[in-house]
Amino acid sequence: MYGWANQLFPLCRSITGEGTRKTLRYLQQLMPSMTIHEVPSGTPAFDWEVPDEWNVHQAWIKGPSGQKIIDLDDHNLHVLGYSAPVDRVVGLEELQDHLYSLPERPEAIPYVTSYYERRWGFCISHRRRQQLEPGPYRVYIDSTLAPGSLSYGELILPGRQREEVLLSTYICHPSMANNELSGPVVTTALARWLSSLSDRRLTYRIIFVPESIGSIVYLSRHLQRMKQRTIAGFVVTCVGDESCYSYLASRRADTLADRVIRHVLEHQCEEYERYSFLERGSDERQYCSVGVDLPVALLMRSKFGEYPEYHTSDDDLSLISPAGLDGSYCALKKCLHLLEHNRIYRTTVRCEPQLGKRGLYPTLSTRDGALKQRDVRLMRDLLAYADGRRDLIALADEFGVDAATCIARANTLVQEGLLEVLDEPR
Amino acid sequence: MYGWANQLFPLCRSITGEGTRKTLRYLQQLMPSMTIHEVPSGTPAFDWEVPDEWNVHQAWIKGPSGQKIIDLDDHNLHVLGYSAPVDRVVGLEELQDHLYSLPERPEAIPYVTSYYERRWGFCISHRRRQQLEPGPYRVYIDSTLAPGSLSYGELILPGRQREEVLLSTYICHPSMANNELSGPVVTTALARWLSSLSDRRLTYRIIFVPESIGSIVYLSRHLQRMKQRTIAGFVVTCVGDESCYSYLASRRADTLADRVIRHVLEHQCEEYERYSFLERGSDERQYCSVGVDLPVALLMRSKFGEYPEYHTSDDDLSLISPAGLDGSYCALKKCLHLLEHNRIYRTTVRCEPQLGKRGLYPTLSTRDGALKQRDVRLMRDLLAYADGRRDLIALADEFGVDAATCIARANTLVQEGLLEVLDEPR
Amino acid sequence: MYGWANQLFPLCRSITGEGTRKTLRYLQQLMPSMTIHEVPSGTPAFDWEVPDEWNVHQAWIKGPSGQKIIDLDDHNLHVLGYSAPVDRVVGLEELQDHLYSLPERPEAIPYVTSYYERRWGFCISHRRRQQLEPGPYRVYIDSTLAPGSLSYGELILPGRQREEVLLSTYICHPSMANNELSGPVVTTALARWLSSLSDRRLTYRIIFVPESIGSIVYLSRHLQRMKQRTIAGFVVTCVGDESCYSYLASRRADTLADRVIRHVLEHQCEEYERYSFLERGSDERQYCSVGVDLPVALLMRSKFGEYPEYHTSDDDLSLISPAGLDGSYCALKKCLHLLEHNRIYRTTVRCEPQLGKRGLYPTLSTRDGALKQRDVRLMRDLLAYADGRRDLIALADEFGVDAATCIARANTLVQEGLLEVLDEPR
């Protein structure tokens, strides 16, 4: 995953354009079943429409002595996202109106965009900005803003059942690592693992979209089906560093996605940060919006907006690590694993069944026996609590145990005919 | 308000009689639309009936040497409320059976009544009582207890909608300030403010009744309509001092009246006292009774029964203040203001709307912009949470902000067609 | 109760057999209406069937020098419960495979059974076991395991209503006191008290069964009726010592049985232990199983499995006491008393009724009066809260008072026509 991120880092991504398309093609090599879709500029999507496509080829400022002060070739963040083309000579005063920098983080280039208002501009470290001489300056941006298309990737992995799990990540951020190359590479790894499974109960809808406009466009095309089928979904973002895990709740805060994330994090780590939907910021804004109401929550490392390098050139490849990516991958994989096995069980016999005659219970009443105490206890608890109303994760939460440890025990009891699997709570 | 209280203080009020009637006439001058109603003695009202009317003209005790020991002219509290007439000479021992004093508050005259059992009696400071000589004493009470009527004031301020808010206060307490002239004067000020509004969404039912029997009589005449229409109600009592605010819950504790009081007090003051309905004591006893079940709660300063001057001559005009009255007035006014604007909103578009094209969102992705961050955030939260199920106060509670700050933002979004107003939760 | 326990202590009980039958006959002398039922071996009961009947007449081990090392006549626990007959000479090594002892409690004989797997064996103190010489040993168990029957006692005490309360205790534990002679003797005392009542509202189903198999057999015969009628039930076990009271919840944790136990213990003692159904262990396992779902909870002293003498010879008559038994008896008796009087009330009049005209309220408004303040307050609270939805225990919990103190007050109000009794919440 870290290697993929390294290769994708230099591409100049935005919500449309060639950099994004190249990113998708790179990922398609890793997931050959993924399809790439193009949605023409001007296509309406709820309250929005697909904007013109933006591509930038060169962007630089030359100082009074003719040397380049900043250059897109040095860092993709140097150009204002969706900047209009420009080729002029300006004085320092006019230039200042088109520069963006961060006084509170003077060495970093900020990440700034102007998708829906035509502007030209450059992003620069505040330290460099303060050294600027009076001028004149030649400002040059060779960009195009013209009808084209918005690109996204989609991978549907069918399962035995039509119930779907959504994985959504975004591919519009240029040259930043935690936010956002970690999401695409972890999602790709999850997609490859899911593809490799010989048997899937659930269907997986995995999408790589530009943030906001991409998820809005995607929802505008698939809302009905997604509302009918989605049982849980995850926006995969900010999953690359080694900081404390975070959970950001869905609006309703009690969906299956919320429950599985909390369950996994409670059994995976000592503590984790909890954020309410009031602190939302990525595509959960669309998935959980009123009338869309998908059960989507987030498992992250350092949450967007909460770490100092956020949306600057300091969010680089040194901020993320193989271990950071792998921890998030494992946690999300466990979420998906639990969802695959998260069934509603009901005990088939009245009173406790006689486990002893099935070899599932020690025949002596003392505390030691051939079977592990813990397993016997878990089977007895499953039988005692499987009332056909709550799913496996809810039962494990009640027992205070990791749901993963319940799966094999529940399967044994199903095989013995002591538990039945229900499709719906009764 | 403090001036009105000053003028009303000397009147000898009770649950019936001329003192109460004069009080109502005084208030009517301040609220010309208020009507005064008379309900004849003997009129049934649920389990009760209107008692005989009581008027007292003179009441005094003369000691052995002929000097007046106590005199109604000195303080209205000196006579037992609803005292029967008497004109006798008695020894100290017999007199003692007809005296009421407070050993634990020896300087104060207590407030005692005997509405439904015929007695004669005097209230006296305990210090004075202990100085009494053997006698004989002449006891003289020139009172009448005879068929008449119970008087109450009623002001209906119609609004665009039939949903009603109830304001109820009581006008039966003689010569006490916090309990109870503060209630009538604050209610009068609220009524005048409501009358002055050019546009009212809600209808206001504002009543000035004798406590208990008055609200029972009033309910017996209007119960059906009040049950159908009342969305929130307030008993206005003990709102004159400058102590910590108090909230006394309705029986159900979660009505709109409860929610708006808690919301206002949480944003108005550092802390406030909370009392359950088990600590009820005023007309909420009737409004929240089983089968009446009106959504009525109380916002107070020092709660009745909880301050040492309660129901004694020490609850005088020095206990209340213009600032104390005004604070309560403002808090209750804010409750009414929020109720006027407390609507159920629902977002009209799927996904987040594009605020930028409406000039409601900064077109640059940086943190600074022309619009105030707080306003943008509030609009986005309103759009994200307005699910047609919860009202504005509930949303503001979820956001942790003052609902008053949401009103303008919600109106903007309604004007933009992004929020719709529902009459009922859906 | 302590005397009965003394007499029952020496009997060699098990889940079937003469010791159990003798125990039931002894209890029948104390409760002549109790019937004893015999269920033949092989009778199916849900997932189980009644096992062969076990009787043991002699059991001993003789050492190399011919002296008896352990002997059933010394302690009933010396023989493995349901041990097969044996008469052999064995070396120490083979003997060890058939000995059970507790290294962590070296002086105690453990209680071990093998009901459903044929074994022979002896239980011995660990200290004695460590002193054993090489052998040879003669092991002799004169027991029979043959078709017979399972015995249980049943006492139905009819009441005016068909709603039932279940009391269930078990009579299969040999020569242990807290677990389990305390349960049978306290249940017997409760049954005798209930029998003596001249008027019972509720019907009582009181059963003395072998643990697990006995309750399963009993449920297999009566499930339909018990599900329809049982409003609360109690497994009576571990009620003999003087330790802190314990409460073990039903699976749903909010049944009437749970509520009445919590209410009684909250008003009976400073603190008590709370256990969830996850810590279940006695016949509540059957009564609360999925599809049985009876409202059964436990009020105990030291909970089974939680005290060091549990299931050893140290759980002897010195562990329990007359005071310990009596405390439990009184607490459970209070539970039953409250259930008898636990009605759903509804106030019949709108607004507060006029208590004064019924002599239920002081006619003076001062704090002192002929009636006790507490009683007046309780009556007013009952009238204010009796909404026809909650029962008396729920009201008392809301008031923070002992429900027992509400019964007389509620009856007064029913007699005055101010409260009505409902059969169902409305």
Tokens found for residue A314:
């300091």
Confidence at residue B367, expressed as pLDDT on a 0 to 100 scale? 53
DSSP structure class, residue A273: E
Q: Please indicate if any CB of chain A lies within 8 Å of the CB of C126.
A: no
CATH no. for residue B375? Answer: 1.10.10
Taking CA A179 as the corner, what is the angle to CA A178 and CA A181, rounded to the nearest 5 degrees? 70
CATH no. for residue C81? Answer: 3.50.30.90
- Check A290 against B354: CB less than 8 A apart: no
The residues near B357 (Cβ < 8 Å, ≥ 6 apart) are: A116
- Check C114 against A349: CB less than 8 A apart: no
Mean pLDDT of A134-147: 96
User: Cα separations (Å) of C337 from C162, C261, C343, C407?
Assistant: 17, 12, 12, 10
Q: In this structure, are residues B248 and B303 in contact, taking their beta carbons and an 8 Å threshold?
A: yes
- Picking from B114, B117, B285, the nearest residue to C352 by CB comes out as B285
Interval C287-321: pLDDT, tens = 999 999 999 999 999 999 999 999 999 999 999 99
The residues near C7 (Cβ < 8 Å, ≥ 6 apart) are: C26
Confidence at residue C199, expressed as pLDDT on a 0 to 100 scale? 95
Tokens found for residue A419:
């538990």
- Check B352 against A216: CB less than 8 A apart: yes
- Check A351 against C47: CB less than 8 A apart: yes
The structural domain count of chain A equals: 3
Q: Are strands B164-170 and A99-100 parallel, antiparallel or unpaired?
A: unpaired
Tokens found for residue A350:
């009245």
The residues near C100 (Cβ < 8 Å, ≥ 6 apart) are: A366, C80, C110, C112, C121, C122, C123, C124
Mutate to test the interface with C, among B14, B15, B47, B288 (most CBs of C within 10 A): B47
Q: In this structure, are residues C186 and C239 in contact, taking their beta carbons and an 8 Å threshold?
A: yes
Interval C150-202: pLDDT, tens = 999 999 999 999 999 999 999 999 999 999 999 999 999 999 999 999 999 99
CATH no. for residue C171? Answer: 3.40.630.10
- Tokens 């590479």 found at: A185
d(CA B97, CA C128): 84
Residues B46 and B66 in one domain: no
Residues A349 and A266 in one domain: no
- Check A351 against C81: CB less than 8 A apart: no
- Name residue C422's amino acid: L
Counting residues of chain C whose pLDDT is more than 70, the rounded percentage is: 98
User: Cα separations (Å) of B382 from A296, B111, B395, B409, B423?
Assistant: 19, 52, 8, 8, 17
Residues C80 and C229 in one domain: no
Interval A197-226: pLDDT, tens = 999 999 999 999 999 999 999 999 999 999
Q: Please indicate if any CB of chain B lies within 8 Å of the CB of C39.
A: no
d(CA C233, CA C289): 14
Residues B368 and B394 in one domain: yes
Tokens found for residue A214:
């991409």
Q: Are strands A296-300 and A203-209 parallel, antiparallel or unpaired?
A: unpaired
Burial class (CB in 10 A: 0-12, 13-18, 19+), C277: buried
Q: Please indicate if any CB of chain A lies within 8 Å of the CB of C47.
A: yes
Query: Prior bond to B425 cis, omega within 30?
Result: no
Chains sharing 3 or more CB pairs under 8 A with chain C: A, B
CA-nearest residue to B361 within chain A is A116
- Check A351 against C117: CB less than 8 A apart: no
Residue that finishes a domain, picked among B146, B173, B188: B146
For chain B, how many residues are written?
Answer: 426
d(CA A300, CA A294): 19
d(CA C191, CA C234): 13
Model confidence at A239: pLDDT above 80: yes
Q: In this structure, are residues A61 and A146 in contact, taking their beta carbons and an 8 Å threshold?
A: no
Model confidence at C56: pLDDT above 80: yes
Q: Please indicate if any CB of chain A lies within 8 Å of the CB of B370.
A: no
DSSP structure class, residue B358: G
d(CA A344, CA A353): 19
DSSP structure class, residue B133: -
Q: Please indicate if any CB of chain B lies within 8 Å of the CB of C29.
A: no
Tokens found for residue B240:
């004159």
Residue whose C-alpha is closest to residue B189's, from B249, B133, B244, B240: B240
Q: Please indicate if any CB of chain B lies within 8 Å of the CB of C381.
A: yes
d(CA C326, CA B348): 68
Residues C30 and C60 in one domain: no
Contacts of B285 in chain C (CB under 8 A): 352, 384
Residues C37 and C60 in one domain: no
Residue whose C-alpha is closest to residue A407's, from A425, A421, A424: A421
Tokens found for residue A331:
């946690």
Q: In this structure, are residues B171 and B223 in contact, taking their beta carbons and an 8 Å threshold?
A: no
Interval C109-136: pLDDT, tens = 999 999 999 999 999 999 999 999 998 9
Model confidence at A194: pLDDT above 60: yes
Model confidence at C363: pLDDT above 80: no
Residue whose C-alpha is closest to residue C177's, from C41, C23, C36, C314: C314
Q: In this structure, are residues B344 and B390 in contact, taking their beta carbons and an 8 Å threshold?
A: yes
Q: Please indicate if any CB of chain C lies within 8 Å of the CB of A388.
A: yes
Residues A269 and A362 in one domain: no
Residues C221 and C235 in one domain: yes
Residues A181 and A297 in one domain: yes
DSSP, collapsed to helix, strand or coil, labels residue C81 as: strand
- Picking from A352, A366, A386, the nearest residue to C286 by CB comes out as A352
- Picking from A353, A356, A399, the nearest residue to C116 by CB comes out as A356
Residue that finishes a domain, picked among C340, C356, C388: C340
Taking CA A182 as the corner, what is the angle to CA A177 and CA A183, rounded to the nearest 5 degrees? 130
Burial class (CB in 10 A: 0-12, 13-18, 19+), A232: buried
d(CA B347, CA B155): 37
The H-or-E segment that residue B3 falls in is helix B2-8
**Along the 426 residues of chain B, how does pLDDT read in single tens digits?**
999 999 999 999 999 999 999 999 999 999 999 999 999 999 999 999 999 999 999 999 999 999 999 999 999 999 999 999 999 999 999 999 999 999 999 999 999 999 999 999 999 999 999 999 998 999 999 999 999 999 999 999 999 999 999 999 999 999 999 999 999 999 999 999 999 999 999 999 999 999 999 999 999 999 999 999 999 999 999 999 999 999 999 999 999 999 999 999 999 988 999 999 999 999 999 999 999 999 999 999 999 999 999 999 999 999 999 999 999 999 999 999 999 999 999 999 999 999 989 988 887 766 555 467 889 999 999 999 999 999 999 999 999 999 999 999 999 999 999 999 998 887
Strand partners, A143: A56
Contacts of A419 in chain C (CB under 8 A): none
Interval A24-46: pLDDT, tens = 999 999 999 999 999 999 999 99
Residue whose C-alpha is closest to residue A337's, from A395, A402, A387: A402
Confidence at residue C369, expressed as pLDDT on a 0 to 100 scale? 53
Residue that finishes a domain, picked among B307, B340, B373: B340
For B178, other C-beta atoms within 10 Å of its C-beta total 29
Interval B266-325: pLDDT, tens = 999 889 999 999 999 999 999 999 999 999 999 999 999 999 999 999 999 999 999 999
Q: Please indicate if any CB of chain B lies within 8 Å of the CB of A111.
A: yes
Mean pLDDT of chain C: 96
Residues B210 and B253 in one domain: yes
Q: Please indicate if any CB of chain C lies within 8 Å of the CB of A354.
A: yes
Burial class (CB in 10 A: 0-12, 13-18, 19+), C104: exposed
Q: Please indicate if any CB of chain B lies within 8 Å of the CB of A103.
A: no
d(CA C347, CA C36): 46
d(CA C71, CA A114): 93
Tokens found for residue C320:
């329990």
Instruction: Note down the domain range covering B69.
Output: 54-146
Compute chain A's Rg from CA coordinates.
26
d(CA C300, CA A230): 48
Contacts of C400 in chain B (CB under 8 A): 278
Q: Please indicate if any CB of chain B lies within 8 Å of the CB of A219.
A: yes
- Picking from B352, B363, B381, the nearest residue to A116 by CB comes out as B363
Residues A26 and A111 in one domain: no
Q: Please indicate if any CB of chain B lies within 8 Å of the CB of A97.
A: no
Q: What is the C-alpha end-to-end distance of chain C, expressed in Å?
A: 43
Q: Please indicate if any CB of chain A lies within 8 Å of the CB of C301.
A: no
Confidence at residue A361, expressed as pLDDT on a 0 to 100 scale? 84
Chains sharing 3 or more CB pairs under 8 A with chain A: B, C
Mean pLDDT of A51-55: 98
Query: Prior bond to A64 cis, omega within 30?
Result: no
d(CA C410, CA C386): 10
Query: Prior bond to A136 cis, omega within 30?
Result: yes
- Picking from C347, C357, C366, the nearest residue to B112 by CB comes out as C366
Confidence at residue A374, expressed as pLDDT on a 0 to 100 scale? 87
d(CA B246, CA A214): 51
Mean pLDDT of chain A: 96
Distance to chain A for C177, nearest Cα, Å: 19
Distance to chain C for B20, nearest Cα, Å: 19
Contacts of A117 in chain B (CB under 8 A): 356, 363-364
Mutate to test the interface with A, among B345, B346, B347, B351 (most CBs of A within 10 A): B351
d(CA B131, CA B153): 43
d(CA B238, CA B300): 6
Distance to chain A for C123, nearest Cα, Å: 11
Contacts of C365 in chain B (CB under 8 A): 81, 111-115
Q: Please indicate if any CB of chain C lies within 8 Å of the CB of B328.
A: no
Sequence-ordered strand ranges (E) for A278-354: 296-300, 344-347
Residue whose C-alpha is closest to residue B213's, from C357, C146, A254: C357
DSSP structure class, residue C175: S
Report residue C372's pLDDT band, with 50, 70 and 90 as the boundaries.
Answer: confident
For C232, other C-beta atoms within 10 Å of its C-beta total 27
ipTM of predicted complex: 0.94
Contacts of C357 in chain B (CB under 8 A): 116
Contacts of A353 in chain C (CB under 8 A): 46-47
The residues near B105 (Cβ < 8 Å, ≥ 6 apart) are: B126, B308, B312, B314
Model confidence at C43: pLDDT above 90: yes
Q: Is 0.80 surpassed by the pTM of this model?
A: yes
**For the residues of A115-137, what is the DSSP string, one character each?**
TTS----EE--HHHHHT--S--E
Residues A78 and A25 in one domain: no
Distance to chain C for A350, nearest Cα, Å: 6
